[in-house]
Amino acid sequence: MRILVVDDEKLLVKGIKFNLENDGYEVDGAYDGGAALAMLRENTYDLIILDLMLPVLDGLSVCRKIRETSNVPIIMLTAKSEGSDKLIGFEYGADDYLTKPFDILELKARIRVILRRTGSEKNRESLLSVGHIRVDSLQRTVYTGDVAVELTAKEFDLLVMLMKNQGRVFSRENLLNSVWGYEYPGDIRTVDVHIRRLREKLEMDDANPEYILTKWGVGYYFKAQEDKAGK
């Protein structure tokens, strides 16, 4: 299991990292919200421990950004104990909440509970299947029928994002920021190129796509299973 710890208190991150690694977890650390999002774009985590008060980008904003594309479990840390702060954290997508200072044994116990609860759900959620397209987001494999399809890393990430949000229309800017990252220096037409390649590799007729569709003037979306609308 791989865990990301995000807190601007470096000694706290070091202590959590030491204790969790002794229990067999792989642990990465980030010290501000921007660095956390950058690490999340490059790595896959089973759980995130996220401080509320962070430089660059605060914990609530980071939590909200994560929830746009991922259901990874999040434990929020805060020096505040007010109930309203906890409610806001849950509304932004946190799974659990710990007030500083906390006992490391309590943190470990909460981590075990969340990972047990989400383990079977994670395996189910990693398998995506619509029509003849089958994806395993953990193994990063794609099949059309029984034929394996080779995708680049970004093609795969783009496909998974669209399939996990069937029916939701994403603008090109939205897709570029979420899949390539906010600091990507490339042209927005990169999204169009990758959509075209996905259609060529996955659609029966890429000129008349059935699954990866265009909302003219808005962006792209993956056809919801009940959606019978045109491309």
State pLDDT tens for residues 181-210. Answer: 766 666 778 999 999 999 999 999 999 999
The residue-averaged pLDDT of 32-39 equals 95
Digit-coded pLDDT (tens) for 133-143:
999 887 889 99
pLDDT at 183: 60
d(CA 133, CA 135): 7
Q: Vertex 12, ends 60 and 107: CA angle to 5°?
A: 70
* For residue 74, pLDDT beyond 90: yes
Give me the phi and psi of 30, to 5 degrees please.
-135, 150
Looking at the DSSP bridge assignments, the partners of residue 7 are none
Question: So where are the chain's domains?
Answer: 2-125, 127-222
Q: What is the mean pLDDT of residues 82-91?
A: 68
Quick one: pLDDT at residue 185?
Answer: 62
Q: Regarding the domain delimited by 2-125, which CATH topology (the fold level of the hierarchy) does it fall under?
A: Rossmann fold (3.40.50)
Both tokens of 82, joined, read 């007010």
Q: How confident is the model at residue 32 (pLDDT cuts 50, 70, 90)?
A: very high
Burial 156-191 (b: 16+ CB within 10 A, else e): bbbbbbbbbebeeebebebbbbbbbeeeeeeeeebb
Architecture of the structural domain at 127-222 = Orthogonal Bundle (1.10)
Domains 2-125 and 127-222 share a fold: no
* Structure confidence at residue 168 (pLDDT): 92
pLDDT of residue 214: 95
- Tokens in use for 29? 């650390």
CA dihedral 205, 207, 211, 213 (to 10 degrees): 180
Q: What was the pLDDT predicted at 182?
A: 60
d(CA 142, CA 128): 9
What ranges make up the beta strands (E) of 47-99? 47-51, 74-78, 96-99
pLDDT at 212: 97
CA end-to-end distance (rounded Å), the chain: 40
Query: Model pTM greater than 0.95?
Result: no
